[in-house]
Amino acid sequence: MDTAAFIAAARALVEEKPRSLAELGLLLREQWPDRDANSMAYSIRNLVPLVQVPPRGLWGASGQAICTTAESWLGRSLAARPSPAKMILRYLAAFGPATVRDMQSWSGLTGIQKIVEPLRPRLCTFHDENGRELFDVPGAPLPDPATPAPPRFLPDYDNVLLAHADRARIIGDARPNIGQPTVLVDGFVRGTWKIARSPGAVTLTVTAFERFSKKDTAALTREGKQLLAFLAPHAKAHFEL
């Protein structure tokens, strides 16, 4: 297969209009009938910078993922020489303080140390309780360790859980499936949650990994009821813990 012609054909198809990978594969197979449609579509996903265009779904309902090229979506060409340093600075602005290993885990890049070293004069440095060096951008907030951390309901695959290599910083001894929505109590994952809907009603169920104190139970119940009021303001709401 002529790879350049293959990529050009796929680009033309998804820039004509955003398409699902399944649709793209079937259209590519019209030009390469001896090739597997799914394999061709997934090859393009890895060979061409694609953007999943909104809406992925509407409120309360899912939808089909459709893609176009990043260039088409942005309306301009991509940088000929992208800046890993700029990416690291943006990462730290969102998730610092962080170690080099954190940056590598989040980005999937190797050789991060060589990117960070020239940035060192522009960064703040700290050390955690295990002596690991942490980097952050100047002026970033550093809350007092005694700052209260109220209960929070996180969606599945939330970056709070995925943005660092050492997940013990938030997961502790719990071992949840990262693909599940999680419950934070005092800043740590203490359970999972799910929503069940029925005609005119919605139920929020929390599965706890341990027994909560009365104070935490009351705070979690308040937060859960606020979530229900946001998700289904006109339905009969139930909270189960």
pLDDT digits (tens, 9 = 90+) for 116-148: 999 999 999 999 888 999 999 999 988 888 898
Residues 90 and 110 both lie in one domain: yes
pLDDT at 146: 87
pLDDT in tens, 38-63: 999 999 999 999 999 988 766 667 78
pTM for the predicted model, two decimal places: 0.76
Whole-angstrom CA distances from 218 to 150, 239, 241 are 11, 12, 11
Q: Does the pLDDT value for residue 150 go beyond 70?
A: yes
DSSP state of 239: E
220 part of a folded domain: yes
Q: Picking from 6-20, 77-91, 162-176, 196-210, which range would have the lowest pLDDT averaged per residue? A: 162-176
By residue range, what is the domain housing residue 197? 152-240
CA pair distance 195, 204, nearest whole angstrom = 5
Q: Which two tokens stand for residue 58?
A: 């509407």
pLDDT at 59: 67
Q: How many domains does the chain have?
A: 3
CA pair distance 42, 21, nearest whole angstrom = 7
Residues 236 and 156 both lie in one domain: yes
Strand, coil or helix: what is 79? coil
141 part of a folded domain: no
Residues 186 and 209 both lie in one domain: yes
Residues 170 and 228 both lie in one domain: yes
201 part of a folded domain: yes
Q: Select the more confidently predicted residue: 161 or 220.
A: 220
pLDDT-derived band at 114 (thresholds 50, 70, 90) equals very high
Residues 57 and 132 both lie in one domain: no
Strand, coil or helix: what is 204? strand
pLDDT at 126: 93
